[in-house]
Structures are given as C-alpha cells and as structure tokens.
C-alpha cells in the first residue's frame, strides 16, 4: 500500500486530497497543529476523519516536521500547509515568511537529511505572477510578487527547484490558480460571498461588505485541482505545471452570479468597504493549462457559473438545515457577520 503525507490536511485542499488518495487506496497521514479550538470539521464533513492517521507538527518547528516524515515514511509528500491568506500576509509579513516560505525548506531539508526516497509536491501559486507581464500566464511567464505571501511562495518555489537540481529529489511545483469549493475558508472572497448570499436570502444577514470589486481571478473547482497534484507525482521526471481554467472573471461578476442563483440583485445587498482593500493587489490572473493537459492529461471540468452555483446551493442548504436545528461539522455558524477589525496596513 502506498503511503502519502499531507501537510495542512485540515485545510480545503488537504481535505479533498486526502479523500482522493483514500479512494486510490493510499494510507494517508496528515499533519495538524495544536489550536485552542480543534479544526477537523472539513475531514468530518467529508466523512474521512477516522480513516486518516494524524501526526502533530507545526511548520515553525523543524523537529516536528522531521518527526512527521520519519513516522510516516511516505512515498509521496504533499506540502500544502501555509499561511495562505494574502490579506493576512500584509499584517503578518514575518510570520508568513517563517511559515509559507521557510516551511518549504524545513520539509525539503528533512527529506534530504533523512535520506528518504519520497516525492514532494510544493503548493506554488498564481500569486507568483503578481500583475503579470503576459496573459494568459504559463510556466514561462516571469514572476513579480505583489504581497508578502507571494514573496514567501516565490522563495518556496525556488527552494523546490534547488533541491531538485542539487540533490536529485523528485520535487514539483504546482502553480495552481485560485480554486474554490463549499469547504473554502470563509475569509476568501468566493466563500465570503456565497455564505453571505445564503444568509441574506434567508434573512440572517443584511449587507455584504466587499473590497476591490474589479480584481479578476481564474477560479476553478478545488476537488479537480487536487487530482493534478497527484498526477504531477506520478510522472517519470519532476516538473512544474500551471493548473487553471484559462477563464477570468471579476469579483463583481462573482457577486452578481451568486445573487442571481437566489434571485436577488447584487447591488441592493453589497457595499464597498475599504477595510477589505489591500495595500497592493493583483489585478488579473488567467492561466494557460496546456502543458498540464498535454503531459498530465489534466483539464478543468467545472466552469465559472457552475462553480458559483455549487457553492451558493451548498451554503444555502447548510443554513436551511441549521435553521431546522440540525447539527453537523461546519464553520459558518460560529463566524460573525460583522467584525470590528483594526489594522494599519488596510487602506482606510
């Protein structure tokens, strides 16, 4: 039986990847970190929590990363753990560097020192392109980070290349464009919108505050994207791949379509709130996935409108169940409508 270790198994991608690998017959190990409130809801929601072997590890603690790899002796490591929220990286640039950047080196260095024969997937990102120098973006488009998050990811990208070339470690960068789902974190704009649309249509919330409505993203469906991670580790040689839909839509379009699903006018229920603007933002992302299609046989199936519909309908159904008094693992009920947040980095 093949063994896989997933760092960040409690996150969106970690949970879907675990589900996918279990179906493929893998023994799945996952790292989790100590939190004051346990965060296993995604694994429970997907009904896979009992099937996973959990290992405590924090990316800032190199010893715990070494321990996780030596306990699991994995054939494949999927390094997904990171401080992954771009907005928060402006508030915690040093912490983001320590976790999202140096965390990659801790994983690669553990593999090197333990002399373990394993394949490594690094969760690289379309954020690396920043305000991109060409559209659509390919594996050859130059990088120009626009946030502390993407600068940390750029370091991780290059360390992955360096360990591949210097030590012959099979390591791949998956340059994944935004991918979303009903188990996406609530602070990311897509789920923030679909959760609010569901609540507004049921009378639980009044207005949805948003930041930059003009930003355009290439949004795909997360359960399809995690399959590409596995495909990258099944090839003869390690390489880097763009995973995207080659379509781009603005935040405003996402909000319009989401309110359409419940028959409401987005303009009546949203307001621009400068607290959600970033000191620097990426204007437009659109990825050319033709290399992945040719070499991995991967292509996206779920397109923009379908994605929006899936997310709104699942949030709506969950709030309806909640109103009937049903209890199930889910993040939204504990998340407040409004928060009084003060930071200097926000453009107020």
Contact residues toward ligand NAP (CB under 6 A) are 8, 10-14, 33, 35, 39, 58-60, 80-84, 99, 123, 125, 176, 178-179, 185
- Which CB sits closer to ligand NAP, 97 or 238? 97
Q: For the CB of residue 142, give the shortest distance to ligand NAP in the complex, in Å.
A: 18
Q: Does the annotation count 127 as an active-site position? A: yes
**Which residue of the set 26, 121, 149, 170 is catalytic?**
149
- Is residue 122 at the binding interface for ligand GDD, with CB under 6 A as the rule? no
Closest alpha carbon to 285 in 226, 245, 241: 245
d(CA 202, CA 118): 49
When CB distances are held under 5 to 8 angstroms depending on the partner's kind, the choice from ligand GDD, ligand NAP, none that residue 99 binds is: ligand NAP
Tokens read off for 237? 């040689």
Q: At residue 56, what are phi and psi to the nearest 5 degrees?
A: -70, 130
Among 152, 215, 222, 232, binds ligand GDD (CB under 6 A): 215
When CB distances are held under 5 to 8 angstroms depending on the partner's kind, the choice from ligand NAP, ligand GDD, none that residue 278 binds is: ligand GDD
**Which residue of the set 7, 96, 125, 141 is catalytic?**
125
d(CA 93, CA 126): 19
**Which residue of the set 19, 127, 224, 253 is catalytic?**
127
When CB distances are held under 5 to 8 angstroms depending on the partner's kind, the choice from ligand NAP, ligand GDD, none that residue 185 binds is: ligand NAP
Closest alpha carbon to 289 in 224, 202, 237, 341: 224
Q: For the CB of residue 97, give the shortest distance to ligand GDD in the complex, in Å.
A: 15
Are 121 and 170 within 8 A, CB to CB? no
Q: In the Cβ-directed half-sphere of 20, how many Cα atoms lie within 13 Å?
A: 19
Among 45, 49, 158, 188, binds ligand GDD (CB under 6 A): 188
Q: Does the annotation count 31 as an active-site position? A: no
Question: 136: cis peptide before it, omega within 30°?
Answer: yes
- Which CB sits closer to ligand NAP, 10 or 72? 10
- Is residue 132 at the binding interface for ligand GDD, with CB under 6 A as the rule? no
Q: For the CB of residue 99, give the shortest distance to ligand NAP in the complex, in Å.
A: 4
Residue with tokens 């360990």: 163
Among 152, 189, 244, 292, binds ligand GDD (CB under 6 A): 189
- Which CB sits closer to ligand GDD, 26 or 143? 143
Are 311 and 181 within 8 A, CB to CB? yes
When CB distances are held under 5 to 8 angstroms depending on the partner's kind, the choice from ligand NAP, ligand GDD, none that residue 192 binds is: ligand GDD
Closest alpha carbon to 279 in 77, 10, 86: 86
Q: What number of other Cβ atoms are within 10 A of residue 6's Cβ?
A: 30
Q: Does the annotation count 289 as an active-site position? A: no
Closest alpha carbon to 261 in 209, 304, 221: 304
Are 210 and 273 within 8 A, CB to CB? yes
H or E, element range at 167: helix 148-167
d(CA 23, CA 50): 14
Stretch that binds ligand GDD, among 63-71, 105-113, 275-283, 334-342 (CB under 6 A): 275-283
Q: For the CB of residue 106, give the shortest distance to ligand GDD in the complex, in Å.
A: 19
Tokens read off for 30? 């996952």
Which residues form the interface with ligand GDD (CB under 6 A)?
84, 86-87, 125-127, 177-178, 187-190, 192, 210-212, 215, 217, 251, 276, 278, 281-282, 285
Known catalytic residues? 125, 127, 149
């Amino acid at each position: 039986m093949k063994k896989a270790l997933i760092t960040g198994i409690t996150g969106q991608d970690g949970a879907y990847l675990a589900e996918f690998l279990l179906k493929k017959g893998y023994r799945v190990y996952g790292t989790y970190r100590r939190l004051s409130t346990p965060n296993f809801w995604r694994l429970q929601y997907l009904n896979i929590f009992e099937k996973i072997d959990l290992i405590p590890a924090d990316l800032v603690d190199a010893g715990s990363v070494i321990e996780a790899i030596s306990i699991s002796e994995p054939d494949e490591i999927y390094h997904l753990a990171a401080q992954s929220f771009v907005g928060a990286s402006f508030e915690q640039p040093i912490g983001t560097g320590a976790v999202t950047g140096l965390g990659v080196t801790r994983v690669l260095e553990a593999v090197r020192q333990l002399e373990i024969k394993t394949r490594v997937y690094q969760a690289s990102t379309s954020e690396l392109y920043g305000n991109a120098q060409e559209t659509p973006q390919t594996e050859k488009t130059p990088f120009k980070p626009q946030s502390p998050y993407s600068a940390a990811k750029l370091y991780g990208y290059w360390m992955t290349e360096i360990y591949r070339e210097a030590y012959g470690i099979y390591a791949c960068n998956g340059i994944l464009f935004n991918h979303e789902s009903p188990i996406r974190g609530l602070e990311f704009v897509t789920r923030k919108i679909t959760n609010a649309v569901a609540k507004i249509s049921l009378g639980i919330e009044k207005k949805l505050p948003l930041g930059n409505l003009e930003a355009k993203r290439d949004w795909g469906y997360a359960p399809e994207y995690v399959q590409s991670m596995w495909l990258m580790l099944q090839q003869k040689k390690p390489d880097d791949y763009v995973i995207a839909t080659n379509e781009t839509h603005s935040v405003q379009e996402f909000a319009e379509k989401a309110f359409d699903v419940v028959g409401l006018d987005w303009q009546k229920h949203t307001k621009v709130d400068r607290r959600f603007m970033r000191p620097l933002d990426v204007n437009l992302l659109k990825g050319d996935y033709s290399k992945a299609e040719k070499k991995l046989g991967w292509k996206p199936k779920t397109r923009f409108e379908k994605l929006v519909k899936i997310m709104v309908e699942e949030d709506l159904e969950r709030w309806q169940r909640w109103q009937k008094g049903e209890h199930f693992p889910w993040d939204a009920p504990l998340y407040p409508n409004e928060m009084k947040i003060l930071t200097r980095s926000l453009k107020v």
